[in-house]
């Protein structure tokens, strides 16, 4: 697939620091606010936000299928309604404007000063308004680990796991942007030694290292999206911390699945990296022939992606501690399969729908994506650099997730998603 903006040889006239997540080959999308001005759509290059509303007003998006209202707004949804073709044209136009090969913008310093905003002056907002959120359970090692912890290691995966991308409907209203602190949740728990449940704060608060993808407008109710069509309906990805209160969840989830143990908060990184920008990092997925998957889940080509992922705990006023290093390539089910399965019953997919990957764990210790696995249900505490230990997350801890792909000298990153835990109210 030839996407001009992905050319690894492109250079920008904007200075981009070495090892930046945001070279000219990335050009993600997000929502910025500065000095009390109204929120607006932006992209990013290096340490600068690119004000797309300003670019539109100055005439740099002439002959493109966008209006001012698509950028003068507090979410990416209106822009995303132009579909894959529209956002691809937009990213390619941005690539031209900021490439050393074109000087239309560069030669006009007055325009540059209106378009480029230092990230130090920017507040990032929630990028997409999601009416619906689905969380999948698609990392085989994570599902195996959880099966070992709660069931029988010889039968760790449930019988359906390799036949369907297991998922559940989550709570879209509590998806929040990076930097927003959360309070420790409360609910019913049933301690192992108790005969009846008790009410109180969660003592087993956990992160889940995930990614999330967001959709363009899908097909009408009753129609489905095939694995072949799925690429046209997937806009981009972000990092996703899908918080989990293990003690609340453990009491409530049988028979209908997660509820209060999950619905209190899910945190998303502010820049949405387009699937177009991630195309160069596609890799083959695992063989899915034991058991053989059903035809509607079969796909062609390389649909998995190599994305390095770190999860970090930073105590209050303390150092960062990397507690897990995983990779999105360890997924069993890919996004195309997840979307095809989600819609195969005729469920309609809307613009901005959020689809969580599920916890991403690699095959070895040190690659696990939750404290449940890292501390092996609290039996093997993680030793922190300050001498303390963590079985789960303490009040005052900040959990940070970072991720990037790298190949042929080009690094496409997501920045980070960061959330501090405050005491229960």
Active site residues: 142
Beta bridge partners of 402: 310, 416
d(CA 420, CA 396): 6
Scored b (16 or more CB within 10 A) or e, 174-190 reads: ebbbbbeebebbbbebe
Q: How far out from the chain centre does Cα 20 lie?
A: 19
* Residue 150 and residue 241 in contact, taking contact as beta carbons nearer than 8 Å: no
Residue 364: count other Cβ atoms within 10 Å of its Cβ. Answer: 10
* Residue 270 and residue 125 in contact, taking contact as beta carbons nearer than 8 Å: yes
Based on the number of CB atoms within 10 Å of its own CB, is 164 exposed (0-12), middle (13-18) or buried (19 or more)? middle
d(CA 417, CA 373): 21
Based on the number of CB atoms within 10 Å of its own CB, is 314 exposed (0-12), middle (13-18) or buried (19 or more)? middle
* Residue 38 and residue 122 in contact, taking contact as beta carbons nearer than 8 Å: no
């Amino acid at each position: 697939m030839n996407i001009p903006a992905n050319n690894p040889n492109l250079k920008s006239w904007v200075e981009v620091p070495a090892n930046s997540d945001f070279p000219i080959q990335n050009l993600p999308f997000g929502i910025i606010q500065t000095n009390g001005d109204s929120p607006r759509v932006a992209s990013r290059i290096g340490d600068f936000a690119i004000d797309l509303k300003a670019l539109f007003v100055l005439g740099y998006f002439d002959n493109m299928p966008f209006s001012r209202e698509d950028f003068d707004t507090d979410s990416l949804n209106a822009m995303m309604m132009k579909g894959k073709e529209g956002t691809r044209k937009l990213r390619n136009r941005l690539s031209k404007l900021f490439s050393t090969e074109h000087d239309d913008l560069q030669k006009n310093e007055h325009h540059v000063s209106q378009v480029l905003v230092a990230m130090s002056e920017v507040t990032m907002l929630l990028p997409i308004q999601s009416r619906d959120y689905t969380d999948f359970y698609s990392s085989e090692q994570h599902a195996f680990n959880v099966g070992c912890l709660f069931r029988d290691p010889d039968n760790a995966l449930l019988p359906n796991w390799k036949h369907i991308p297991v998922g559940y409907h989550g709570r879209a209203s509590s998806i929040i942007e990076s930097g927003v602190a959360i309070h420790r949740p409360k609910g019913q728990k049933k301690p192992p030694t108790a005969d009846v449940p008790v009410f109180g704060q969660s003592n087993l608060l956990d992160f889940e290292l995930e990614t999330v993808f967001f959709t363009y407008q899908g097909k009408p109710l009753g129609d489905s999206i095939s694995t072949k069509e799925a690429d046209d309906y997937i806009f981009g990805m972000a990092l996703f911390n899908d918080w989990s209160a293990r003690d609340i969840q453990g009491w409530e989830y049988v028979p209908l699945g997660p509820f209060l143990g999950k619905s209190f908060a899910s945190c998303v990184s502010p820049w949405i990296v387009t699937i177009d920008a991630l195309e160069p990092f596609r890799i083959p997925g695992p063989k899915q022939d034991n058991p053989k998957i059903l035809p509607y889940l079969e796909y062609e080509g390389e649909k998995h992606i190599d994305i390095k992922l770190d999860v970090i705990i930073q105590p209050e006023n303390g150092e960062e501690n990397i507690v897990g290093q995983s990779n999105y390539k360890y997924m069993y089910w890919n996004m195309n399969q997840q979307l095809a399965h989600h819609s195969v019953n005729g469920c309609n997919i809307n613009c901005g729908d959020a689809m969580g990957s599920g916890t991403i764990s690699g095959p070895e210790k040190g690659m696990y994506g939750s404290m449940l696995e890292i501390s092996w249900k609290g039996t093997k505490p993680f030793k922190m650099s300050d001498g303390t230990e963590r079985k789960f997350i303490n009040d005052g801890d900040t959990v940070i997730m970072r991720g990037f792909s790298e190949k042929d000298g080009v690094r496409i990153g997501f920045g980070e998603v960061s959330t501090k835990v405050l005491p229960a109210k």
